[in-house]
Amino acid sequence: YNKRLEPETKAVIEWMSKIPFVLSANLHGGALVANYPWDDGPEPQVEHRVNVAPDNDVFRALALTYSMKHPRMHLGKPCNIDQGGVLDDAFPDGITNGATWYPVTGGMQDYNYVHTNAFEITIEVGCYKFPPAEQLPTFWLENRDALLSYIEMARKGVHGTVKSSIGNPIPRAKIEVEGIDHPIYAAQGGDYWRMLVPGQYNITASAYGYEPSTQTIKIGPQRESRGDEVTLDFSLMRDDNEHWSSAYDYGLLKNLQRKGYLKNVDLNNQMGRLESVQSDSIVEFEAGENTDSMAIHSLRITRNLGAPEENKIHIALVGGLFATQPIGREMYIRLANHLVEGNKIGDPPIVKLLDNTVIHIIPGLDPKFDTVPDVCHPKLEDEIGTQIMKGTTVPNPVTTAFKHMMATEGYDVIVTALGGSVGVSYTEDYLNVYKNIAEAYDASMHKDNCDYDNNNSSDFGDYVMKNYNIPVIALSLSCCDYPPAENIFNIWRDNLMPLRELLLNLATGVRAQVMNEKNEPIREAKVQIKTQGYPVTKNLAYFVKTMAPGKYSLTFSADGYIPRTIDFAVKKNEMTELKVQLLPLKSIGSVEPIVQEKSDHGKVGDNGISHTLEFFSSKHAPISELITVGKTSKGTTVSAIKIGKKSVETKPSIIFTAGMDNEPAITSHVLLNLANYLLENYAVDRSIADLVDNHTIYIVPSLLPDKKPGTSCSLYSSELEFPIDGQLAGDAKMIVDWLKKVKAVVAVNLNSGSKHVEIPFGFNSKNASDLRTNDEEIFNYLASTYIQKHPTMSKDPKCQDNLKIGKNGITRSGTALPDEHKDRLIDYVYQKTSTLMLDVYITCCNSNIPSDLFEANKQSLLSIISGMEKGVSGYVVNENGEPIVDALLSYDDSPHIIENSENGAFWILLPAGSHAITAKANGYIEDTKVLTTPDIKQYSRLIFKLKHNDTIFGLPRLVFVIFTGIIAFGIIVIGIYCFSKCRASRAEERNNRRAYAFSLLRDGSSFFDDDEKEVELFKRPARNSEKELLVGHEISDARPYFDHDNSEDEDETSDLEFVQPDREWQERKPIIYD
């Protein structure tokens, strides 16, 4: 916006305002695209952020109409002429939202949409800004049909006339479409043309002095209504003033019947009477109580007058800032009457308004009004408004008093009512609160085309904002500085309801009181919204601020107290009440700075953090739990807090760690703030409750409590090494063992010394110089998610000149510094655990205030939690639906292996696309499934039902048993056969060696049965000691017994001879005969 317009610009603006254009096109060169509003972004200096206009559907239809009729534009291909930058972008369907492409402030298409009836798009007709002359015929042929089709669109929608009940056209009648915040105005002949896409609409026509009329109309698809124009005429009835007053102004005759402007004396008398009208004292007429009120007479209107007012919004309504612009005098005295009467009859909106605000009304600031001539644009020197802004050599008591009032009264906003133009100006604020309020008022006004434009409104606002830090909204209500007296009532009628709505909007916001644990106000407390800080009131420690409806986050802090961040929602026309209690640091142990202490039981370490986490978990027991990560090599306990809704269902986990960097205190405090923020806002913010209910969040503020703080702001972090192929020991093993136990999906490790995000190296690449991981896309997604929500990280704010960081703020593990640091934790975690880990560097040095640093990183930390829901989740179960524990899941070609949880659940972060996922477990047959994940923040569901592995060496169990049995049986048969053959062979060998030997026959086996039986009767054992000595053991010898016949010769031998059993032959013993 330029206050001083160039002649050419001014000429175009005047031309556009005089002719009621319906459709417009601005032809450019340099690209091939149809560009539609808005051209300016929703946030200054932010590129590629879509910003749609209220009539976005119409603008897209216009752009598509042109693009589709162009032979090449609809293809959406870039020019590829090596100009670089935005001119080489590609555009789907050949159209783009202007702000999405690149933001342009003050573009012509935006101006025309706001200030005229014309719907304008910018058409880039070719790739060259200054094409050669010989190409012009080609340009014409390519764009001819598109231009003609675009012109035809001017008759799409609805058109008609607005007339009075007696048939007279009503110029400048306002045409509004319900649900679309963009009115247009009828031409001088009462005709209007409103472009709309097919659909059903409620359309209202209104004008000064007429009752508004609303009609419903349906616009069919273009193929049905082509050639059939939709017409809608309005006939408005004259509005009766008394009827309007009764309906909207409580029937106040003094606001209705008075003719002309009030002189200063009459104005003071009116204010004095208001003080005495209200029995419950809501009005105070300030005139003569002090130096300021002697020079400036004013009204103070609020309920419970006399009670402390520091918990209310203070609104100053200033009229007559310039004596030549007196319309504010009449508007604000009527408004005072309206407020008093509304409170008197108990109108709820007015009662609520006066409960939450103190309205200071100064209807006539400049006392020179009585001398001003009654003309449209009177001239007067040294008006009060001019003296305030430019100063004066002669002190003026009114100017001095008003400056003193702005410095001491505590005005939260000043609203002036002026003449000289029709519109609303405002001073900028970083939350766009007053911008939204001013634009809402401006949209409700009946606009006139003024030949004269008064710039005093914005000049005064800039001055007050710069010198007193008070926002200013300036209402310009008439083209004339001094509108005719007969127009006063019409102006009042047109502005009463917008004024009421403005006051109600200003009374919308937050009221917070900051107290300690004894409910005593903490008067030195500070309140922070984003990057802006505010003090609380000096007495009761209130923070009161106007805010637009929406969700906000406030951080409360004070010296000696733990900072506290609270999320809350502001509802329309409501003042959100907050009671904030800050806890002293000593109640939970020292938190800042962190100290390490010893106890009688050995090292406790990081006592402040441990006590703080213990306090958090005890205060929020239903959703938090104090846990132990492990013990360091020096015996120090590492504490963490587990945050999540307690249930039997397993949820995806995320880990936040800190304390491994060179200066751990600052990063540890950021995580303490994060834990406090999640726990405190769980019950009051639905979005925080969703994060806590659907995730398990582990926060470890000090992963290495034994680490001593560094002496400089170095990027080097822990000296621990985590070799991929080596053995871990000490603190490194403790950390990794806990990470493997938790099996988190994502981990974020906070560091200091820079502002960037590091992702792991790739180790599986076929090309040694290619350092990308197989999960490059998902790592970049996580890193970008963090960076995009950070206010400065994406702007490449290098803390040191020698840092090697990409423009997007992402770099590889350990490569930011010239001398690379290897064996980093995030590389090991990627290769050896179920977790994807980022190293996030959040501050250049340790000089940041923890609460400020947390506020800068809060949205990034929260977005990482919500950003986890991208990929695949499910269960690994057996055929009976029972969970399989310790199943391993792999995907695509990634070396990253995920181990499922105890109940079989798993989560895998994956980019959009097709993926092959494999699940395997001991004793089960592995299974691979292919699925496609959409590009949305939601897990795709996948169930693996693994079958028991009944195979042994690749054979089914039954087949293996049968086969094994056959083999065993064969071995036994072969063994028996071999044994039999061996026995037979040895027996044959013995028989061959003793062929001459004899042995005693069995009983009854001889041919001499009778004789042998007889001989058997006389057998007896016999011993032979000589034989025993000879053979080494006792030998049994069976002999027959005979009665010796004396007559016979003893030397005579028997005819029976006996030999030793074959045992002796086997043992190769000599055979001895008797």
Question: What pLDDT shows up at residue 1034?
Answer: 47
Q: How many CA atoms lie within 13 A of 935 on its CB side?
A: 3
Higher pLDDT, 585 or 732: 732
Q: Locate 408 and state its tokens.
A: 């001491």
pLDDT at 218 over 80: yes
Which of 133-137, 189-193, 289-293, 489-493 is modeled with the greatest confidence?
A: 189-193
Contact in structure between 907 and 933 (CB atoms under 8 Å) = no
Sign, Cα dihedral of 266, 271, 276, 278? positive
Residue 125 · residue 25 · CB < 8 Å: no
Q: Where are the beta strands (DSSP E) in 143-264?
A: 158-164, 174-177, 180-185, 191-194, 199-206, 213-219, 230-231, 234-236
Q: How confident is the model at residue 459 (pLDDT cuts 50, 70, 90)?
A: confident
Q: What distance in Å separates the CA atoms of residue 771 and residue 154, rounded to the nearest whole number?
A: 56
User: For 371-385, what is each residue's pLDDT tens digit?
Assistant: 999 999 999 988 999
- Identity (one letter) of the amino acid at 342? G
Residue 495 is encoded by which pair of tokens? 């502005």
Determine the average pLDDT of the residues in 759-781: 72
Q: Reduce the DSSP state of residue 759 to 3 states and report it.
A: strand
Residue 1025's φ and ψ, nearest 5 degrees, are -60, -30
What is the structure's pLDDT at 596? 33
β-bridge pairing 836-843 and 898-899: unpaired
Report how far residue 748's alpha carbon sits from residue 746's, in angstroms, rounded to the nearest whole number. Answer: 7
The position carrying tokens 């980019």 is: 911
pLDDT-wise least confident of 125-129, 186-190, 475-479: 125-129
> Contact at 8 Å (CB) between 931 and 906?
no
Q: Which residues pair with 119 in a beta bridge?
A: 23
CA distance 467 to 462: 9
Q: What is the CB neighbour count within 10 angstroms for residue 876?
A: 27
Average pLDDT over residues 691-697: 93
Residue 999 has pLDDT above 60, yes or no: no
Q: Are 843 and 853 in contact (CB under 8 A)?
A: yes
pLDDT interval class at 1012 (50, 70, 90): low
Strands (DSSP E) found in 82-144: 95-97, 119-126
pLDDT tens string 880-929: 889 998 899 999 988 899 999 888 999 999 988 889 999 999 989 899 99
Helix crossing, 686-694 with 664-681: angle to 10°?
110
Structure confidence by residue, pLDDT tens digits, 382-402: 899 999 988 766 778 999 999
d(CA 219, CA 199): 5
- Phi-psi sector, 83: left (phi>0), alpha (psi -120 to 50), beta: alpha
Distance in angstroms (rounded) separating the CA atoms of residues 107 and 660? 50
How high is the mean pLDDT of the chain?
A: 83
- List pLDDT tens digits, range 647-685: 767 899 999 999 886 666 788 889 998 999 999 888 878
Helix axes 825-832, 730-742, angle to 10 degrees: 40
- Model confidence at 729, pLDDT cuts 50, 70, 90, reads confident
Q: Is the pLDDT of residue 986 over 60?
A: yes
| Segment 546-586, tens digit of pLDDT | 999 998 888 898 888 888 888 889 999 999 999 999 888 65
Please tell me the distance from the alpha carbon of residue 226 to that of residue 1039, in angstroms, as a whole number.
Answer: 142
Residues 681-692 have a mean pLDDT of 87
CB atoms within 10 A of CB 730: 11
> What is the pLDDT at residue 600?
34
Paired tokens of 368? 């020179």
Helix (H, G, I), strand (E, B) or coil at 944: strand
Q: What is the pLDDT of residues 268-313, one digit of tens each?
A: 999 998 887 765 679 999 988 899 999 999 999 999 888 889 999 9
Task: Specify the range with the lowest mean pLDDT, choosing from 42-56, 114-128, 238-252.
Answer: 42-56
On the question of pLDDT at 981 being above 90, the answer is no
Q: What's the rounded Cα separation, in Å, for the pair 217 and 225? A: 13
Model confidence at 83, pLDDT cuts 50, 70, 90, reads: low
* 991 or 918: which leads in pLDDT: 918
Which class for 953: exposed (0-12), middle (13-18), buried (19 or more C-beta within 10 A)? Answer: exposed
The owner of tokens 């304008």 is 120
pLDDT of residue 877: 92
1006 pLDDT higher than 60:
no
Instruction: Look at residue 638 in the predicted model and tell me its pLDDT.
Output: 92
398/320 Cα distance (integer angstroms)? 12
Q: Which of 71-75, 225-229, 651-655, 698-702 has the lowest mean pLDDT?
A: 225-229
Q: Which residue has the higher pLDDT, 286 or 315?
A: 315
The answer, yes or no, to whether residue 485 has pLDDT greater than 50, is: yes
Q: Is 712 buried (19+), middle (13-18) or exposed (0-12) by CB count in 10 A?
A: exposed
CB 354 within 8 A of CB 302: yes
Question: What order of strands is seen across the sheet that includes strand 542-546?
Answer: 542-546, 509-515, 575-581
Sketch out the chain's domains with CATH numbers. Answer: 7-154 (3.40.630.10), 159-239 (2.60.40.1120), 244-507 (3.40.630.10), 511-581 (2.60.40.1120), 608-869 (3.40.630.10), 873-952 (2.60.40.1120)
Distances (CA, A) of 202 to 178, 199, 216, 217, 237: 5, 10, 4, 7, 19
Question: In the block, which residue shows the tokens 């008797």?
Answer: 1074
Task: Report residue 735: phi and psi, to 5°.
Answer: -65, -50
pLDDT of 23-39, one tens digit each? 999 999 888 999 999 88
Give 186-216 pLDDT, tens digit per residue. 999 999 999 999 999 999 999 988 888 999 9
Q: Which of 120, 124, 284, 286 is catalytic?
A: 124
> What pTM, to 2 d.p., does this model score?
0.56
| Residue-level pLDDT at 604 | 34
From the centroid of its chain, how far is CA 133? 52
Beta strand extents in 836-897 (DSSP E only): 836-843, 871-877, 888-891
Question: For residue 1, what is the DSSP state?
Answer: -
pLDDT score, position 365:
94
Q: What percent of the chain has pLDDT over 70?
A: 81
Q: Any residues with CB less than 8 A from the CB of 586 and at least 6 apart, and which?
A: none
Which of these, 873, 905, 869, lies nearest to 887 by C-alpha position? 905
Q: What is the CA radius of gyration of the chain?
A: 49
**124 among known catalytic residues:** yes
- In which residue are the tokens 């703020």 written? 809
Distances, alpha carbon 1039 to alpha carbons 496, 636, 998, 1010, in Å: 153, 97, 16, 18
What average pLDDT score do residues 865-869 get?
A: 88
Helices (H), 914-956: none
**Residues 802-811: tens digit of each pLDDT:** 677 766 788 8
Bond into 593 cis (ω within 30): yes
Strand partners, 842: 755
Contacts 24+ apart (CB under 8 A), 277-283: 277/340, 277/344, 278/340, 278/343, 278/344, 281/305, 281/306, 282/340, 282/343, 282/354, 283/336, 283/340
Q: Look up residue 823 and give its two tokens.
A: 């064996």
Note the pLDDT tens digit of each residue in 110-120: 999 998 999 99
Q: What is the pLDDT of residue 348?
A: 95
- How many whole angstroms separate alpha carbon 843 and alpha carbon 661? 11
Question: How much of the chain, in percent, has pLDDT values that exceed 90?
Answer: 44
- Reading phi first (left if > 0) and then psi (alpha if -120 to 50, else beta), residue 772 is in beta
